Amino acid sequence: MNQQLRRKLDHITDVLWAGGVTNPVTYIEQISYLIFLKLLDEEETDRELRTRLSTENGNAKLLYPQQAERYRWSKWRFKSGEDLRNFIRDEVFPYMASLAKDEPEVAEYFRDAVLEIVDPNVLKQVIDELDGFEFRKLGPDVKGDIFEYLLTHLGQSALNGQFRTPNQIRAFMVEMVDPDIGDTIFDPACGTAGFLIDAVNYLLAKYSEHITEHPIYGEEWLEKRGQTVEAAKKTIPKLQTYRKGAGERIPDWKLLEASIYGLDVSRQMMRIAMMNLVLHGIRHARLKRANALSEMGGLTEDDLRRRYKVILSNPPFAGQLPKDSIRQDLPTNSKKSELLFLGVMMQSLTPGGRCAVVVPEGLLFGSTSAHVELRKKLLTEFDLLAVVSLPAGVFKPYAGVKTGVLLFRKPASETAKRLDKVWFYEVRNDGYDPDKISGGGRVETPEKNDIPNLLGQWKAYKASSFATPPGVAASTLLPHDADEPRCWWATREQLAAADYNLGAGQWKPRVAEKTSDQDPRELVEEVVVLERQILAGLEKLTKELAE
Low-confidence ranges of the chain (pLDDT < 50): 55-58, 156-162
Residue 488 in any domain: the answer is no
- pLDDT, residue 163, reads 57
Q: Is residue 456 part of a domain?
A: no
pLDDT of 160 = 43
* Stated pTM of the model: 0.87
Residues 163 and 119 in one domain: no
**Could you say which of 85, 110, 137 is where a domain stops?**
137
Last residue of a domain, one of 418, 447, 476: 447
DSSP state, 251?
S
Query: Phi/psi of residue 201, each to 5°?
Result: -60, -35
In a domain, 463, yes or no: no
- Residue 256: CB partners within 8 Å, gap ≥ 6? 181, 200, 203, 250, 282
CATH no. for residue 163? 3.40.50.150
- C-alpha dihedral (84, 90, 96, 99), degrees to nearest 10: -150
Same domain (yes/no): 121, 169: no
pLDDT in tens, 139-168: 766 777 788 788 877 664 444 444 578 889
**Residue 209 sits in the same domain as residue 328:** yes
Assigned domain for 224 exists: yes
- Say whether both 250 and 351 belong to one domain: yes
Last residue of a domain, one of 447, 482, 499: 447
pLDDT at site 417: 86
Q: Are strands 487-491 and 421-426 parallel, antiparallel or unpaired?
A: antiparallel
- Please give the distance of CA 320 from its chain centroid, rounded to a whole number: 22
> Domain tally for the chain?
2
Assess whether 194 and 72 both reside in one domain. Answer: no
Distance of alpha carbon 144 from alpha carbon 138, whole angstroms: 10
497 occurs within a structural domain: no
- The residue range of the domain holding 352 is 154-447
Please check whether residues 36 and 113 belong to one and the same domain: yes
Rounded Cα gap, residues 187 and 195, in angstroms: 7
The answer to whether the beta carbons of residues 292 and 308 sit under 8 Å apart is no
Tell whether 534 is covered by a domain: no
Q: What is the pLDDT of residue 159?
A: 43
DSSP H or E segment with residue 361: helix 361-365
Do residues 160 and 46 share a domain?
Answer: no
- Cα distance between residue 425 and residue 516, in whole Å: 32
What is the distance between the alpha carbons of residues 178 and 407, in angstroms, rounded to a whole number?
12
In a shared domain, residues 176 and 107: no
Does residue 179 share a domain with residue 305? yes
DSSP letter string, 71-86: GSHHHHTT--HHHHHH
Question: pLDDT tens for residues 92-125?
Answer: 999 999 988 888 888 989 989 999 999 999 999 9
In a domain, residue 476? The reply is no
Q: Based on the fold, state whether residues 335 and 284 are members of the same structural domain.
A: yes
End-to-end CA distance of the chain: 85
Q: Do residues 229 and 256 both lie within one domain?
A: yes
> 149 in a domain, yes or no?
no
Residue 41 belongs to a domain with what CATH number?
1.20.1260.30
- Backbone Cα Rg of the chain: 28
Q: Are 412 and 345 part of one and the same domain? A: yes
Give the three-class secondary structure for 44: helix
Q: Residue 105: what pLDDT?
A: 85
